[in-house]
Structure 1
Amino acid sequence: MKINYPINDTEEEIKEVEKIYKDYPELPYISPERNLKKWFRDLNLTSETRVPLRNMQRTEEGLLPGDIILIWRISLGTFTNESVMPKYFEYDYGINAHQSLKSLIEHGYVVQESPYESMDHVTATLLKSLLKMKNIKGYSKLNKTGLVEEIKKHYSNKELDEYFNVRGLRLTDSGKKALENNQFVIDKHPTKPGY
């Protein structure tokens, strides 16, 4: 069994987790915050709290289905470096979504956008305050598109980097290809509330 993620629990609990996933190619991620005693108890009542085996089988690209779901979420255009990671990444897909995102960026599937490119994730109020700081006149009646254009005239990417941390994320060609090659993963993703 290939173990990618550490579990911060007792040796006995780790052995129990390994026993539960003994037939899996690798051990799903389990957050150090997870209450393993409660999880073990729930497993005795139902098998729905176990990560499905198919979600721990890597794609041709070497990605896990959870990575593909994360790529898909990013492709929708609303995901940022500050987005809350839904619990289903851990409980249904067995990945640490924050670590996965870093890896997807490092391996060229996802790019973090520049401050200019990320302004659609910033409030109009912040954009107006940035223009006010530079004593720019006539911005109060501008819509967000107009505010963004004014900001670009008066601020460099480097300057903007000091004023907000949120960054948009977008797929590279490799990310788009991985998504295209693994549509079956998206098709199996639940569409119930909370997903």
Structure 2
Amino acid sequence: MEKGYAVIKTAFDSLDHLNATIKKNILKSKGMTGLSKMRAPYLEQSLRDNFSEEELASYFSIRGYKLTPKGEQILEQYQDIIDRHPKKNL
């Protein structure tokens, strides 16, 4: 991050790190009901509709990282080093 290879994602962009239960609990804090049958895409949309970035950020500290174009260029430049490391099955 110091060299500009990556940036920290926003709270909204980091929602994919939270499970549905946590998302529902955040929405419940606003007094929302009918969440038990709500699927993940609707939970995320409800969060976007009912919270500001600053407000949502106060509910969780987990953040993802995003490569910048400069970071992607470095990864391409040193692909042989990356290939030597074990990969996770996603």
Q: Give me the TM-score of the superposition, normalised by structure 2.
A: 0.88
Partner of residue 130, structure 1:
26
SS of residue paired to 2:7: strand
Q: How far has the Cα of 1:137 moved from its partner?
A: 2.5
More moved, 179-188 vs 108-117: 179-188
Counterpart of 2:54 in structure 1: which amino acid? Answer: K
Counterpart of 2:49 in structure 1: which amino acid? Answer: K
Structure 1 runs (4+) greater than 4 angstroms displaced: none
Q: How far has the Cα of 1:139 moved from its partner?
A: 2.2
The unaligned stretches of length 5 or more in structure 2 are none
- What's the CA shift string for 1:53-89, capped at 9, x where partnerless? xxxxxxxxxxxxxxxxxxxxxxxxxxxxxxxxxxxxx
Greater Cα radius of gyration, structure 1 or 2 = 1
Partner of residue 113, structure 1:
9
1:168-187 matched pairs, under 5 angstroms? 168-187=64-83
Partner of residue 144, structure 1:
40
The unaligned stretches of length 5 or more in structure 1 are 1-104
Cα gap change, 1:178 to 1:192, in 2 (>3 Å): closer
Cα gap change, 1:106 to 1:152, in 2 (>3 Å): same
Q: CA RMSD in A?
A: 1.7
Q: How far has the Cα of 1:192 moved from its partner?
A: 8.5
Give the share of equivalent positions with the same residue, in percent: 39
> Equivalents in 2 of 1:117, 1:168: separation in Å?
8
1:1-195 matched pairs, under 5 angstroms? 105-189=1-85, 191=86
Q: Give me the TM-score of the superposition, normalised by structure 1.
A: 0.43
